[in-house]
Amino acid sequence: MSPATLPPVLIVGLGLIGGSVGLRLREQGIAVRGVTRSQETLDRALELGAVQGGSLELTREVPDARLILVAAPTQTSIRLLTVAGELARPGTILTDACSSKQEVVAAMNALPRGIAAIGGHPMAGKELAGINAADSRLFEGATWVLTKTERSDAASAAACETLATVCGADPLWVEPEEHDDAVAAISHLPLLAAAALVLAAEGSRSELVWRLASSGFRDITRIAAGEPEMGADLALTNSPALHEAATLFDTHLTSLLDAAHTGDKPRLQHLLSQAASRRRRMYGGGG
């Protein structure tokens, strides 16, 4: 499917992700409407050109939609997908942008027959939230995960691949369980770890902690400034994989702390070297 054949898109949730998709699609001349919770957000999306129109009610937009992207926090998205599935006409394609997939895919599998559904997760973002943070280049070069469901077919798969590529991303088909295991380690656990670091600094005995905090602390805790509802939902909907990743993290952190506590410098340097080598292979020396 070429970009010219992509059907008009309804984006449900006009925050960072939904707004960024809308901006990119409009740049490509694709018709976009939106549904959001506040008139202020809708007005701003219209002003920015992320959508051409929309409303605050699913009931006013979904029945005429052909391709619907739900871009809200995960638990909210599951509810919205269920409601949209009841309102949509047969042949409508539903997809999402949630950062966990197993619970979303389970909800999609329960949609009425005749509704097509593909799970999705664009692997891009930033700590800023809301329509004002939307960026039409947000997905450039990013991986856009796609997952098949019991409601998938060839047409919906092609449409969602095209949606990803039009946004500048590279579509990658992944099983829901494999996706959730991976993002637990590289996305969900880092978010909770960043939040824990901020809370630990807040509880420090030193009155100098925030005065001395510099670029290293800023960079490692950047994602802790994200949208709390989004963060809570990703943890709640991927709890088993997150717990497994956290257990492994605790094992390695304990090894580092034990080596430091016992004065075992060779062991400590070895562990730090392993981490540094893997990081450099992934991102290079300074990124």
pLDDT tens-digit series, residues 119-151: 999 999 877 789 999 999 999 999 999 999 999
282 confidence band (pLDDT: 50, 70, 90): confident
Report the top-level CATH class of 179-283: mainly alpha
> In sequence order, which residues have a C-beta less than 8 Å from that of residue 175 and are 6 or more positions away?
147
d(CA 283, CA 114): 44
State the pLDDT confidence band at 84, using cuts at 50, 70 and 90: very high
SS (H, E, C) 205-218: CCCCHHHHCCHHHH
Check residue 126 and give its pLDDT: 79
Digit-coded pLDDT (tens) for 261-270: 999 999 999 9
- Model-level pTM? 0.90
The Cα 117–Cα 241 span in angstroms is: 24
pLDDT value for 2: 64
Specify the fold of 3-174: Rossmann fold (3.40.50)
- CA dihedral of residues 38, 43, 48, 53 (deg, nearest 10): 100
Strand arrangement of the beta sheet that strand 53-55 belongs to:
53-55, 32-35, 9-12, 67-70, 93-96, 116-122, 143-148, 170-173
Do 155 and 128 form a contact (C-beta atoms < 8 A)? no
pLDDT single digits (tens) 52-78: 999 999 999 999 999 999 999 999 999
Domain ranges of the chain: 3-174, 179-283
**What 3-state class would DSSP assign to 172?**
strand
Identify the pLDDT of residue 226: 86
Distance (Å, whole) CA 5 – CA 272: 51
CA atoms 177, 181, 165, 45: torsion sign? positive
Tell me how far CA of residue 115 lies from CA of 86, 95, 151, 160, in angstroms.
Answer: 9, 11, 7, 14
Note whether 3-174 and 179-283 share their fold: no
